[in-house]
Amino acid sequence: MKIMAFMLKQSVTEFAIFDDGVQILDEELEHSVSDLHARLTPHEQGQFRLGEMMEALVEQEVAFDNIDIVVTLAGCAGLRPGIYLASGGLVDFLKESEIDENDMRAGVYMAYAIAEYINSSYDTECIPLVVELKMDNQINEEATLSGLRGIARDPVFHVYSHHYAAAVHAWENSKSQSDVKLVVAHLGTETSVGAYDRENILDSNSPLDGEGPFSPTASGSLPVDGLVKLCFSGKYDMDEMLNMVTREGGLTAHLGSGKLSVVQESWHSGDEKTKMIVKAMAREVAREIGARAVVLRGEVETIILTGPWAAFTEFTNEIVSRVEWIANTEINIYESELSSLSTAAMETFHGNMKLLLFEDNKQ
């Protein structure tokens, strides 16, 4: 089964093709901001993005006749969370609505149009799907305060990953996202741990701001006095310091590499230093999970470990052993946002997730 997945992010369109779950194409298009701003509705913006994406697909010599599903995010006001068929009714519903900043609704038109093109041009059937996630964040005002006036916390983290993991958990347990309280830990190049409370993320560490556990490439929280002294040591300029804590910290600083396959190979070869550092990283993730459980006042239904590093069983076992007293832990492995969309589409096709129709499921 071949699945085309794409996402709209500000002036970027990301797209990939998966063949039975294996990614065989991964591309990113940068659009002209002025050209995007000239398109005032999701329909108009979708037409523009689609034209440029189709040109790129043709250049890559993509065979359209064997694409079974095209899938994207919806971002539609008026839809409850779920996986929908991108029908003509849904496209018409969005056609004249005003575009919002960072709007993803143009993707609904694009998915519908791509499937229509494939179905009319080839003797095949391509199914257009859109995934609607409830993605309202309400970071507590008190959570934005720091211990220093003039410096406010504004967590930047893996928002889509957290909401997708929460949505999958809700769908698989026949619940609404408004019914679940979770702690979600995205384990990737950077690590973010969020408190998910009935559709809203109340708090998360901000990994690229140096908060939380150290990760494969980020330093995480550091002793402030040591960091300040290093900044004023004269050894490094600001760019070098920022690079050290965001790209060359964590496992990269201790082991020379933050690449998952390299670290796993080192662990399985019996390297004791690797095991010690990875266990220390797991301890820090567990500590952050405990902090988010406190935000939820201990009312945690499930802890979800997700992201590419959730596939590192020895690492996740170390985390689970420290947090299993808080709540049951689920592992939700995916390599990227696009791969998660592909997985959702495949699960829906096989009947493991319910397919919703716009006409029957308006809020």
CA atoms within 13 A on the CB side of 268: 8
- Indicate if 30 and 109 belong to the same structural domain: yes
State if pTM tops 0.85.
no
Looking at the DSSP bridge assignments, the partners of residue 182 are 196, 302
Q: Mean of the pLDDT values across residues 151-168?
A: 84
- Indicate if 118 and 216 belong to the same structural domain: no
- Indicate if 209 and 317 belong to the same structural domain: yes
User: Which pLDDT belongs to residue 102?
Assistant: 45
- Indicate if 120 and 8 belong to the same structural domain: yes
Q: Where residue 168 falls among pLDDT bands split at 50, 70, 90?
A: confident
Q: Where residue 101 falls among pLDDT bands split at 50, 70, 90?
A: very low
Q: How far apart are the first and last CA of the chain?
A: 32
- Indicate if 154 and 58 belong to the same structural domain: no
- Indicate if 163 and 101 belong to the same structural domain: no
- For residue 57, give its domain range: 2-132+338-360
- Indicate if 250 and 283 belong to the same structural domain: yes
Kindly state the tokens that stand for 247.
Answer: 């790209």
pLDDT at 189 over 70: yes
**H helices of the chain, where?**
33-37, 42-59, 88-95, 106-121, 159-172, 224-231, 238-246, 250-255, 260-268, 272-295, 313-323, 337-349
- Indicate if 25 and 155 belong to the same structural domain: no
CATH number of the domain that 162 lies in? 3.30.420.40
Q: Where residue 144 falls among pLDDT bands split at 50, 70, 90?
A: confident
Q: pLDDT digits over 213-225, tens only?
A: 999 999 999 999 9
**Average model confidence (pLDDT) across the chain:** 87
pLDDT at 30 over 70: yes
Q: pLDDT digits over 343-354, tens only?
A: 889 888 988 778
- Indicate if 127 and 46 belong to the same structural domain: yes
- Indicate if 147 and 128 belong to the same structural domain: no
- Indicate if 74 and 184 belong to the same structural domain: no
- Indicate if 107 and 176 belong to the same structural domain: no
How many domains would you assign to the chain? 2
